[in-house]
Amino acid sequence: MRLLPRSLTGRLSLVMVAGVLATQLVANLIWTGQLRQQAQREASEAARHLGASAASATRFFASLPANYRPLLIAQLREMGGTRFFVNVNRQPLALQGIADSALTRTVQQTVVATLQAGLSKPASVSARFVWPEQLVVNEAGMRLAELPDEWVQHTLIVRPRPAPILVIQTQLASEEWLYLAALMPDPYFLDNADPLSLDRLALQLATLLSVLLLSIGVVRWLTRPFETISSAAEAFGEGVTPEPLPEAGSREFVQTARAFNAMQARIQRYIDDRERLFASISHDLRTPITRLKLRTELLDDETTRAEFHEDLDELDVMVKGALQSVKDSDIHENRTALRLDQLVERLAQDAKLAGKEVRWAGPALTVRAKPLALKRALSNLLENALHYGERAEILLSEHAGQVELSLRDHGPGVPEEAFDSLFQPYVRLEHGRLQRQEGMGLGLGIARHIIHAHGGELQLANHPDGGLLVTVRLPQASA
């Protein structure tokens, strides 16, 4: 499974490529087997006809007086009229045959068997295929190419594409061998024995490539809508309200686009209504709280008045925190290319002007972000580090297409079991409350919300040398 492509386009393309290759392989195996069987049948039938003709010619020459044979052979060479090139030698000639194959063996054996069966008495017979340029025609070693063209033009093919020649040698008498050279009825019958020739392979390869290219194009066309939906969902998850998906294309995509657009609209309405309701309630609560504080001043009992003031102050802090959370988390601005190193440098300079110790290092790195929102998140993290850890160190780096910001303080650190609860509203650890009474415990939650809206992540860990280590990872902006 690890070898499979991760994208849907890659997997569908791989399946189609494997299917086309398997189909081609099976079809070629079946077609090759059938073609070879057909070639064997046709070659055997042609060999029987050729063997019968050779038997008839052999009987004819055997019936002639020996001194008549040269005269008749000379007439045949000049006038034609036979399918064989004929000669008479005192002994069989040694021939350099072509490469042996199942088809040539079948033809040679069939010719010999048919010829012997057609003779009136047993005789020594041999049959062999020879290429024209290597064919020897007499005992003197003369080759076919040295003969006059008119001797062979009616019987053999020499140019432009030579065909293999079947040479049959039959013993007529002592020191008298009949030499017959002929072409098969299909001179290029050996081509049928090789179904996977270069030209056929090239044609199949061209067909395969065409089918594969069309298949990959169709798969790409079918899966492109999924990329559109994925991009829209990712943008919506990062707080960007994209344009509604176009409801055009295949029926399935139109249905999916309509469902996605409706879902997006419902979620956006829910978020807007929740924020307005939350902000309105938090804002409206401040008036009755102020009114209750004034009325508590009229109480005669000092203890009761102090308790009322304490409860109302706590309620006021919670309302202010709620308003701040909505305000800081809902900064409406467009994303732009932002130099993260320059932003960190400005935050460090502001902290130094306030008398804090901040050191930072890192290369020039760019992210696509909402400048004010990201500044608010990093400011909260740096403010926490300086309040609870005395001094801070910031390191910027790049890893696998992501920008990493490491922020370390030199405070007491955080118990491992308390990491998850730190992001919850109004949660503060004991040492934090002792060092800073006015805090509300919202900074980490707001920072993580903003980082997640930018497609990043925020992690907490204790540094091995002491203090808390905050790691922020953000997608790096493309060039």
Task: Give the model's pLDDT for residue 166.
Answer: 92
Alpha-carbon distance of 255 to 259, in angstroms, equals 6
- Could you tell me the two tokens for 258? 């309509």
Do 180 and 273 belong together in one domain? no
Query: Phi-psi region for residue 175, left (φ > 0), alpha (ψ -120 to 50) or beta?
Result: left
Res. 364 pLDDT band, cuts 50 70 90: very high
Does residue 46 sit within a domain? yes
What percent of the chain shows pLDDT beyond 70? 85
Contact 129, 138 (CB under 8 A): no
Does residue 199 sit within a domain? no
Task: Give the model's pLDDT for residue 365.
Answer: 92
Does residue 234 sit within a domain? no
In this predicted model, which residue has the larger pLDDT, 435 or 214? Answer: 214
CATH of residue 272: 1.10.287.130
Do 452 and 369 belong together in one domain? yes
Look at residues 305, 327, 349 and tell me which one is the last residue of a structural domain: 327
What does the radius of gyration of the chain's CA atoms come to, in whole angstroms? 48
**Range from 104-113, 210-219, 359-368 carrying the lowest mean pLDDT:** 210-219
Alpha-carbon distance of 52 to 365, in angstroms, equals 90
Task: Give the model's pLDDT for residue 282.
Answer: 65
What percent of the chain shows pLDDT beyond 90? 22
pTM above 0.75, yes or no: no
**Range from 209-218, 351-360, 364-373 carrying the lowest mean pLDDT:** 209-218
Residue 232: closest CA among 220, 224, 244, 247: 244
Does residue 3 sit within a domain? no
Strands 176-182 and 366-369: unpaired
Task: Give the model's pLDDT for residue 347.
Answer: 93
Do 37 and 183 belong together in one domain? yes
**Range from 163-177, 221-235, 341-355 carrying the lowest mean pLDDT:** 221-235
Do 262 and 171 belong together in one domain? no
Alpha-carbon distance of 440 to 428, in angstroms, equals 8
Task: Give the model's pLDDT for residue 70.
Answer: 86
Does residue 205 sit within a domain? no
Do 322 and 354 belong together in one domain? no
Do 339 and 463 belong together in one domain? yes
20 CB neighbour count, 10 Å cutoff = 16
| 458 sits in which H/E element | strand 457-462
* Helix axis angle, 371-389 to 443-453, nearest 10°: 150
pLDDT for residue 194 is more than 70: no
What is the residue-averaged pLDDT of the chain? 81
Task: Give the model's pLDDT for residue 359.
Answer: 93
Do 40 and 184 belong together in one domain? yes
CATH of residue 400: 3.30.565.10
Angle at 190 between CA 185 and CA 195, to 5 degrees: 125
Task: Give the model's pLDDT for residue 473.
Answer: 93
Do 160 and 260 belong together in one domain? no
Task: Give the model's pLDDT for residue 339.
Answer: 92
Helical ranges in 148-197 per DSSP H: 149-152
Per-residue pLDDT, averaged over 160-166, amounts to 85
End-to-end CA separation in angstroms for the chain: 33
Residue 90: closest CA among 113, 110, 114, 69: 69
In this predicted model, which residue has the larger pLDDT, 201 or 91? Answer: 91
- Could you tell me the two tokens for 395? 């390191």
pLDDT for residue 127 is more than 70: yes
**String of b and e for 318-353 (b: at least 16 CB within 10 Å)?**
bbebbbebbebbebeeebeebebbebbeebbeebee
What confidence tens digit (pLDDT) does each residue in 252-300 have? Answer: 888 888 888 888 888 877 777 666 666 666 666 777 777 777 778 877 7
Do 86 and 163 belong together in one domain? yes
Look at residues 271, 300, 327 and tell me which one is the last residue of a structural domain: 327
* Helix axis angle, 251-296 to 198-237, nearest 10°: 20
Per-residue pLDDT, averaged over 374-390, amounts to 87
In this predicted model, which residue has the larger pLDDT, 155 or 217? Answer: 217
What confidence tens digit (pLDDT) does each residue in 402-415 have? Answer: 999 999 998 888 88
Alpha-carbon distance of 98 to 78, in angstroms, equals 29
Counting the structural domains of the chain, the total is 3
Alpha-carbon distance of 156 to 466, in angstroms, equals 99
Does residue 348 sit within a domain? yes
Look at residues 310, 327, 344 and tell me which one is the last residue of a structural domain: 327
In this predicted model, which residue has the larger pLDDT, 55 or 39? Answer: 55
Res. 219 pLDDT band, cuts 50 70 90: confident
- Could you tell me the two tokens for 180? 């017959």
Task: Give the model's pLDDT for residue 429.
Answer: 61
Res. 328 pLDDT band, cuts 50 70 90: low
pLDDT for residue 135 is more than 70: yes
Does residue 223 sit within a domain? no
Contact 425, 404 (CB under 8 A): no
What confidence tens digit (pLDDT) does each residue in 142-154 have? Answer: 888 888 877 776 6
Does residue 157 sit within a domain? yes
pLDDT for residue 325 is more than 60: no
Contact 185, 49 (CB under 8 A): yes
Res. 478 pLDDT band, cuts 50 70 90: low
Q: Which domain holds residue 320?
A: 251-327
Do 318 and 338 belong together in one domain? no
Do 318 and 354 belong together in one domain? no
Task: Give the model's pLDDT for residue 395.
Answer: 94
**Range from 148-152, 225-229, 422-426 carrying the lowest mean pLDDT:** 422-426
Q: Which residues pair with 475 in a beta bridge?
A: 402
Alpha-carbon distance of 40 to 303, in angstroms, equals 117
- Could you tell me the two tokens for 337? 């290319």
- Could you tell me the two tokens for 207? 């067909």
- DSSP three-state, residue 314: helix
Do 148 and 32 belong together in one domain? yes
pLDDT for residue 331 is more than 60: no
In this predicted model, which residue has the larger pLDDT, 40 or 286? Answer: 40
Alpha-carbon distance of 455 to 474, in angstroms, equals 7
DSSP string, 50-97: HHHHHHHHHHHHHHS-TTTHHHHHHHHHHH--SSSEEEEESSPPP--P
Residue 435: closest CA among 383, 479, 362: 383
Side-chain-side CA neighbours of 282 within 13 Å: the count stands at 17
Task: Give the model's pLDDT for residue 304.
Answer: 82
